[in-house]
Structure 1
Amino acid sequence: MIQEQCTHRNNVQSTEKPHVYKVGIYGWRKRCLYFFVLLLMILILINLTLTIWILKVMNFTIDGMGNLRITEKGLKLEGDSEFLKPLYAKEIQSRPGSPLFLQSSKNVSVNILNGKNKTVTRLVAGSKGIEAQGKLLEVKSSTGKLLFSADDQEVVVGAERLRVMGAEGAVFSNSVETPHVRAEPFKELRLESPTRSLFMEAPKGVQILAEVGDIQAMCKSELRLESKDGEITLDAKKIKLLRLPEGRASPTATRQTVFEVCVCSNGKLFLSRAATGSTCQISNSVCL
C-alpha cells in the first residue's frame, strides 16, 4: 500500500516537531484480505471447472443437450426419454423406419377434450385390459373399408366373414336378424338352445336347404309341424316312419308284413295289418 505522509504545519511558528500520519492496511487486516482474495480465486476456478465438466457430461451443444436436439421442425429425442410431468405437444412421431414405443408402469391414457376441457373420448391401456370411451368406435382397413363400428344404437361388422372360434359358439341373449345362415364348407351347421326354445320366424317363409347332405331334426319331447293356412308336403322317394306302435291285430288275420298307416283323432300314428278293407277301426286301441 502507498504510504502518504501528511505534514501539519501551523502558520504560526512553533517549537514542536511535525506529526506524521500513516494511511493503509497493515498487520492482520492485510493478511485476511490476501486470504479472501485467494479463496475467491480458488472458488472461481472450481466453479469454472465444474461448469466445463457439466457441459461435457450433459453434451451441451449449440443444437441442444444430450439426446435432445432443437431442429426447425421442433424437438428431436434420441434414445429412451422419461417425463416426470405432463408433456404438451401438437404431434409426436418416431424417426423414419423406427417404431414409437410408449411404456408405463401402470397405464397409458389418451384423452380428447372439447372446448370446455371436458373429456369426450378416452382410451386407457392398463394391466386389466384396454378401455375405450366415446360416442363412436370404428375400425377400418388400409383401403378405408369399414371393418367394425359400434355406437349407442348398433354394432356393425363390415368384414366379409365373421368367424367365432370358441368351442361354445356364439351366444345371443335376444333375437338375431340375418338374411342367411350358412356353415363353412365341409362343416356342420348347428342351431341349439340347451335350456330354452328355438324359434325361426320370417314373414315370407323359412327355407332349410341341404344340397348334398342330410337334415336332421331331433327333440326329446315333441316335434310339431304346423301350417295354419297352407299344407305340409313331404316330397321324397322314400318316407320312413320308424318305431310306430302296432295296433291290435284281428284274430283272423294271417301273418303278413304289409301294414297300413292309421291316424287317430288326436294325431297319433300307428300301424295296422293290411286287409281287403281298412283295419284302422279294429286296431284303434292305440288311440286310447
Structure 2
Amino acid sequence: MLRAMVRMMTQEQCPHRNNVQSTEKPQVYKVGIYGWRKRCLYFFVLLLMILIVVNLALTIWILKVMNFTIDGMGHLRITEKGLKLEGDSEFLQPLYAKEIQSRPGSPLFLQSSKNVSVNILNEKKQLVSQLIAGSHGVHARGKMLEVKSSAGKLLFSADDHEVVVGAERLRVMGAEGAVFSNSVETPHVRAEPFKELRLESPTRSLYMEAPKGVKIEADAGDFQATCRSDLRLESKDGEISLDARKIKLLRLPEGKASPSGTRQTVFEKPHICVPTKSSVNQTSTNCIVYFSSIKKSSHSALTDCLQCFTPP
C-alpha cells in the first residue's frame, strides 16, 4: 500500500511529463558510414585487395624464378655434408669454407677479373702460405714447395736450403741453354740423342773437377778441344797416353840430317818425341826431340824420349 501511495503522489506532482511522452513519437538512430566516406572506404578496400593479389603473384614468380625448394634455393642445395652449388657462381664478399670440390667428373674453375688469392693462416691469424694468380703471373709464398706425380713420386721441391728435381731427366729448351752462377754437382751430363752437348763459359774459365777422375767420351763422333792460348796436358803422378791408330801433329818444324853423321856431345833432356818428315840421324830412329836444361849425349837424349816412332 505504501508503494501505491508513493506512485499516486508522483503522478499527481508530474502530470505534464506524462502528457509530453504520450504526444512525441519515438526517434530511431542509424549506426554506420554513409555518403562519400563509404565510397572512400570501399575504394581503399579494393586497392588493398589489388595490392595483396599483386604481392602474392610477385612472391610466386620469385619463388619460381629462384627455384626455391625444400632442399635449397636455385643451384644451391643443402645436403647432409654441407652446401652443394651447381653451375656458375659469383661471390662478392670473402668466402670461408673448409673444403671446396667439384662434382665427380666435372672440373672446378676459379675465375676473377683481377687475381685469385689463396691464403693460409695459423692459429694466431698470421700468414704462413700464400698463392696469388694474377695478370702479372703466379706468385707462391711458403716454407716449402713440392710437386709430386700421381704415383706419389717427388718431381720437384724447393726450400731455403736446396732445390731438388726428382724427374729422370731435366730438359732445358731455351736457346741460350742453362746458366749457373755457382758450381754444379752432377754425376752425369748427357745431350739428347743425335744432339750436341756444349759446355761454355763466354767470359770466364770452365773447370771440371772430380776426385776419382773425369771421363769424356764421344762414341759416335769426334772430340775437339780448341783454345786461343796454350793447350796444356799435365799429369802429376801418372802418364799421358795417346792411343790411336794414327796420331797426327800438324805444323811441326822439319828436322834436318847432318851430312857428316857426327854426334853432338851436348843435348838436353827431351820432353816429347814425335815423327817428322826427315830424320835427325840417318841411322837412328825417325824422330825430333825438344830439350830442357840437362846436358847429355845424343844417344842418351834419344833414349830418354817418351816414345819414338820407327819408320815403317
Fold match, TM over 0.5? yes
Deviations 1:191-234 (A, max 9, x none): 11122111111223322233443321111112122233443333
> Quick one: structure 1 residues 242 and 83, their matched pair in 2 at CA, closer, same or farther if it must change by over 3 Å?
same
In structure 2, the partner of 1:147 is 155
Q: Do structure 1's residue 160 and structure 2's residue 168 form an aligned pair?
A: yes
Question: Secondary structure of 1:122's match?
Answer: strand
Q: How far has the Cα of 1:71 moved from its partner?
A: 1.9
The match for 1:33 among 30, 37, 41 is 41
The match for 1:121 among 117, 121, 129 is 129
Q: How far has the Cα of 1:70 moved from its partner?
A: 1.8
Q: How far has the Cα of 1:141 moved from its partner?
A: 0.9
Structure 1 residue runs of 5 or longer lacking an equivalent are 1-10, 267-274, 280-288
Q: How far has the Cα of 1:277 moved from its partner?
A: 11
Q: How far has the Cα of 1:276 moved from its partner?
A: 10
Question: Secondary structure of 1:111's match?
Answer: strand
In the TM superposition, 1:186-265 aligns within 5 A as 186-246=194-254, 257-259=277-279, 260-263=287-290, 265=292
The match for 1:71 among 68, 79, 93 is 79
Conserved in 1, the CA contact under 8 Å of 2:157 and 2:164? yes
Q: How far has the Cα of 1:19 moved from its partner?
A: 8.7
| Whole-Å separation in 2 of the counterparts to 1:42 and 1:157 | 75
The share of aligned pairs that are identical, in percent, is: 77
In the TM superposition, 1:14-29 aligns within 5 A as 14=17, 15=20, 20=27, 23-29=31-37
- Which shows bigger deviation, 51-60 or 140-149? 51-60
Deviations 1:104-150 (A, max 9, x none): 11111111111111111111112222111111111111111111111
Structure with greater proportional helix content: 2
Q: How many residues align?
A: 259
| Whole-Å separation in 2 of the counterparts to 1:82 and 1:49 | 28
In structure 2, the partner of 1:272 is none
Matched AA of 2:288: V
| Whole-Å separation in 2 of the counterparts to 1:53 and 1:237 | 97
> Quick one: structure 1 residues 276 and 72, their matched pair in 2 at CA, closer, same or farther if it must change by over 3 Å?
closer
Conserved in 1, the CA contact under 8 Å of 2:146 and 2:156? yes
Deviations 1:218-263 (A, max 9, x none): 111121222334433333343322112447x58959xx93143332
> Quick one: structure 1 residues 111 and 244, their matched pair in 2 at CA, closer, same or farther if it must change by over 3 Å?
same
Q: How far has the Cα of 1:18 moved from its partner?
A: 7.8
Q: Do structure 1's residue 136 and structure 2's residue 163 form an aligned pair?
A: no
In structure 2, the partner of 1:102 is 110
The match for 1:44 among 6, 31, 52 is 52
Q: CA RMSD in A?
A: 3.1
Structure 2 residue runs of 5 or longer lacking an equivalent are 1-12, 261-275, 280-286, 303-312
Larger radius of gyration: 2
